[in-house]
Structure 1
Amino acid sequence: MHTSRKTLDRQEFKTLGLSSLGGALEFYDFIIFVFFTQYISMHFFPQELSTFWRDLNTYGTFAAGYLARPIGGIVMGHFGDKLGRKNMFMLSILLMVVPTFSLSLIPTFETIGYLAPLFLLLVRVFQGIAIGGELPGAWVFVREHSPQKHKALYLGVLTASVVGGILLGNLVALILNLSLSAEEMKEWGWRIPFFIGGVFGIISIYLRKFLSETPVFQQMKQDRALEKFPLKEVLKTSKQGVILSMFSTWVLAGCIVVLVLFMPNFMQKVLSFSDIQKSLVQMGGILSLVFGCVLAGACADRFGISRSYKVFAVVLGSLSLVFFYNLYGARSEVGAIITYILSCFGVAIMIFTPVVMCEVFEARFRFSGISFAYNIGYAIVGGFTPQLALTLHTLSLSGKYPYALYGYILLLCFVAYGVACVYKKMWEK
């Protein structure tokens, strides 16, 4: 069966660009929550709670979005394999726009009491359902449009673009902090990013009108090779692929949640950053990650997936060790900032997750296989990592266990190395 083209014509290149941009805008909607954690904690939970418990509740609500991802992933994966990759893009963005926009309007705890955290939880659940089908669909879409010799590079470019959604969230946070006073941000300024997210969602819907179906799906449809129940076939024939993909997803989710999303907040508390300084540090880390994603994809195409995966596991473990020493040990502001940005380059190890998953699942159930493994894995990891990261950060901050949080990152590096070894033995040609 035809699985990919050797070249991309102008229309296909345009389509991939629109897919990447739309993914970045949708990921902004999902992730903007974490940039305004302190304000959400203030407004949606009782004031008599300690700061630690308010933060823990907020991070728990953030994690609820991850727990809801499998619902969207399984449903959209099923119909993505039966009805086409393109159709699910429109559904995922529609499910994202409404709850994101609603956060700009939802009354606070002071107004409606315990209904406020309940509404907040519902928002995260619907966002989780939407994002559950978004990334797997985007990965499949790009993989099936890409030239065979550049398949990892195109996935790296797409993933870098999606990470750009986090950068966009940072830019919005930075502009607001520069434009508004602390009191204005506390009272009403924190709602603006969610309103902007609704606007971004509408733009994404418009962009996705120009997407074309992948040649792989068109060929399967023409050959009448579509599966009636794709997920059933995944569980019947690809159990090993599912398990390997879930472990690789653990690496991706753990690195993103701890190092990219939460670490700047932790650094702010350790080094007494201002909100503006925190945003600048996080932006530097994300730019480093974007560069790393593209380079990691190119390396996978040039030197092989498993070999490159192993190298990035070693790079991440080494760079993050130096970072955690500078942050919790030496408490060096300059050293921590520089090594944090370098550590985020190592987080580019995340792109090997979609690269591996696109190889271990056949095209006839690829969307379902990736959606199931990725979202179940992310739900498990995302469900406990925010609270675990906060607890390990507290231990590291105490000085008694300065490398407590690094221990979790090191564990992820060992998992990544193991995944690379298994992939080489069972799938790499």
Structure 2
Amino acid sequence: MTAQALAPGASASSAAAPSRPLDVRDYKTLALSALGGTLEFYDFVIYVFFATVIGALFFPVDMPDWLRQLQTFGIFAAGYLARPLGGIVIAHFGDKVGRKRMFSLSIFLMAAPTLVIGLLPTYASIGVAAPLLLLAMRVLQGAAIGGEMPGAWVFVAEHVPARRYGFGVGTLTSGITGGILLGSLVAVAINRHYSTAEVAGFAWRIPFILGGVFGLVSVYLRRFLHETPVFRELADRRNVARELPLKTVLREHRGASVFVALLTWVLSAAIVVVVLYTPTYLQKVHHVPATLALEANAVVTLMLTLGCIVVGWASDRIGTRAVMLIGWGGLFVTTYLFYTSLPGTPGSLVWHYGLVGFFVGTIATVPIAGVRAFPAAVRFTGLSFAYNMSYAIFGGLTPVVLTLWLEKDPMAPAHYVGLLAALGFVLGLLPLATRGHAMRGVPAGSTMAQ
């Protein structure tokens, strides 16, 4: 490979990187990044599994139940609203001072508030200060998750060999989604081991304290990670973003931003509807027992986690575009197969639901394509801005849209996911699905970058 064949900002020494196998340092990076992502997403979602108990403890006992639940979930939603701001700020400094520092900061900003929530006094002890402190902690958590996910994707993408790029990003994504499974399993264990009175009295605090402590341990472990080779080269060449990175993104990379935002809309539909919303839908619309709905949800989350790894591996073998077309097309088909067969038998429900979950793993193509859509100097900011703005809007509106749609059509979840899966299929046909900026010495647009 000649010097002219190298992408801008790539060094000759890094040109051999694409052909090397994963080494011990790569596996350590993947393991610590995925572990941190699992714990951080666990910390973010564990709140929803104990929302009913939290509502009873952090608001007045004489408050109407509907208003208590509305305010409880309003505090949960505040975490989503804080994502764009936190993501933009963390990403700004990630492009300015380095990926590693912000990667460690984001998990600290998640772990510390989670631990504090587990130790907070309730409304009975300090009155209105209790829900206000809870709201403040959720805002900090939202800011942290807004920086963690894009930061983790960029960090791993810039570390692993280009020929294992998809596998690295897919494995990390599986770790992040594994946080949902971990939260579900912990919630089931707490509710089985303790009585309702014990859960309300003290046991609800256990998942938050555990999440906070293990998150702080993960902060310590991330000290052993190294700055990404891509950022080190940018710093050595003094090519780090000199103006506000967001300004550059909005001026020069609007097409990439829209592409990633639309892909994120597809991702949010798959996660929010299939994984988070459907268990309640099964119980209310099809009268599926709560135990069966939760067990099926655990299966779908496990299949999603496995699907992310398979999607990443396949992306390295047959290309991102092919995987997007197969994956989003498969999600469209299996979505209608699942929702039209409800309620069915317990076996068919779990089988069809798990099959949908596997194709939801196609969400791994969002960071695989999204990271490559932006040049290294503004990569963190570009991905974070497009991803978090889109998720805040569509992730927050999806439950509202579905609630209104269900009043007229019980197949609303299938139609919504089906429409967004079709959008994902169309996005897979666009040049941006396979276009790539250099990742560790791989020329943009080369087959290895695709």
2: CA distance, partners of 1:235 / 1:33: 34
Gaps of 5+ in 1: none
1: CA distance, partners of 2:40 / 2:30: 15
- Corresponding residue for residue 127 of structure 1: 141
How many angstroms does 1:176 deviate by? 1.1
- Corresponding residue for residue 266 of structure 1: 281
- Corresponding residue for residue 4 of structure 2: none
Q: Is the Cα–Cα contact under 8 Å of residues 369 and 432 in structure 2 kept in the other structure?
A: no
Q: Is the Cα–Cα contact under 8 Å of residues 111 and 216 in structure 2 kept in the other structure?
A: yes
Q: Deviations over 1:83-139 (max 9, x none)?
A: 111000121122112221122233444555544443332222110001111111110
2: CA distance, partners of 1:273 / 1:195: 30
Any idea what SS the aligned residue of 2:430 has?
A: helix
How many angstroms does 1:405 deviate by? 2.1
How many angstroms does 1:350 deviate by? 0.9
Residues 325 and 182 of structure 1: CA distance in aligned 2, closer, same or farther (over 3 Å) = farther
How many angstroms does 1:242 deviate by? 0.5
- Corresponding residue for residue 439 of structure 2: none
Question: Comparing 235-244 with 31-40, which one deviates more in the overlay?
Answer: 31-40
Q: Deviations over 1:46-66 (max 9, x none)?
A: 556666554444333322211
Q: Which among 217, 227, 234 is matched to residue 203 of structure 1? A: 217
How many angstroms does 1:339 deviate by? 1.5
Any idea what SS the aligned residue of 2:429 has?
A: helix
1: CA distance, partners of 2:278 / 2:139: 24
Q: How does 1:108-147 map to 2 (within 5 A)?
A: 108-147=122-161
- Corresponding residue for residue 378 of structure 1: 391
2: CA distance, partners of 1:143 / 1:152: 8
- Corresponding residue for residue 283 of structure 1: 298
Q: Is the Cα–Cα contact under 8 Å of residues 63 and 384 in structure 1 kept in the other structure?
A: no
Equivalent position amino acid for 2:253 in 1? S
Aligned residue-pair number? 421
1: CA distance, partners of 2:302 / 2:265: 22
2: CA distance, partners of 1:227 / 1:114: 44
- Corresponding residue for residue 357 of structure 2: 344
- Residue 238 (1) aligns with residue 246 (2): no
Equivalent position amino acid for 2:264 in 1? T
- Residue 353 (1) aligns with residue 335 (2): no
- Corresponding residue for residue 168 of structure 1: 182
Q: Which among 292, 317, 320 is matched to residue 332 of structure 2? A: 317
How many angstroms does 1:170 deviate by? 1.9
Task: Name the structure where helix makes up a greater proportion of residues.
Answer: 1
Q: Is the Cα–Cα contact under 8 Å of residues 59 and 387 in structure 1 kept in the other structure?
A: no
Residues 382 and 112 of structure 1: CA distance in aligned 2, closer, same or farther (over 3 Å) = farther
TM-score, normalised with respect to structure 2: 0.87
Q: Is the Cα–Cα contact under 8 Å of residues 259 and 432 in structure 2 kept in the other structure?
A: no
- Corresponding residue for residue 16 of structure 1: 30
How many angstroms does 1:284 deviate by? 1.1
1: CA distance, partners of 2:351 / 2:145: 32
1: CA distance, partners of 2:178 / 2:233: 32
How many angstroms does 1:386 deviate by? 3.4
Q: Is the Cα–Cα contact under 8 Å of residues 64 and 383 in structure 1 kept in the other structure?
A: no
- Corresponding residue for residue 442 of structure 2: none
Q: Which among 269, 272, 283 is matched to residue 257 of structure 1? A: 272
- Corresponding residue for residue 296 of structure 1: 311
Q: How does 1:58-73 map to 2 (within 5 A)?
A: 58-73=72-87
Q: How does 1:91-110 map to 2 (within 5 A)?
A: 91-110=105-124
Q: Is the Cα–Cα contact under 8 Å of residues 358 and 366 in structure 1 kept in the other structure?
A: yes
- Residue 412 (1) aligns with residue 425 (2): no
- Residue 77 (1) aligns with residue 91 (2): yes
How many angstroms does 1:326 deviate by? 3.2
Gaps of 5+ in 2: 1-8, 437-444, 446-450
Any idea what SS the aligned residue of 1:212 has?
A: coil
2: CA distance, partners of 1:271 / 1:47: 30
Equivalent position amino acid for 2:419 in 1? L
Question: Comparing 4-13 with 83-92, which one deviates more in the overlay?
Answer: 4-13
Q: Is the Cα–Cα contact under 8 Å of residues 369 and 433 in structure 2 kept in the other structure?
A: no
Q: Which among 300, 305, 322 is matched to residue 320 of structure 2? A: 305
Any idea what SS the aligned residue of 1:104 has?
A: helix
How many angstroms does 1:221 deviate by? 1.1
1: CA distance, partners of 2:277 / 2:69: 12
Q: Deviations over 1:377-429 (max 9, x none)?
A: 11112222233344445x3xxxx621022222122112212221224588374
Residues 278 and 79 of structure 1: CA distance in aligned 2, closer, same or farther (over 3 Å) = same
Percent identity of the aligned residues? 43
2: CA distance, partners of 1:383 / 1:133: 18
Q: Deviations over 1:220-255 (max 9, x none)?
A: 111111111222221221110011111111111221
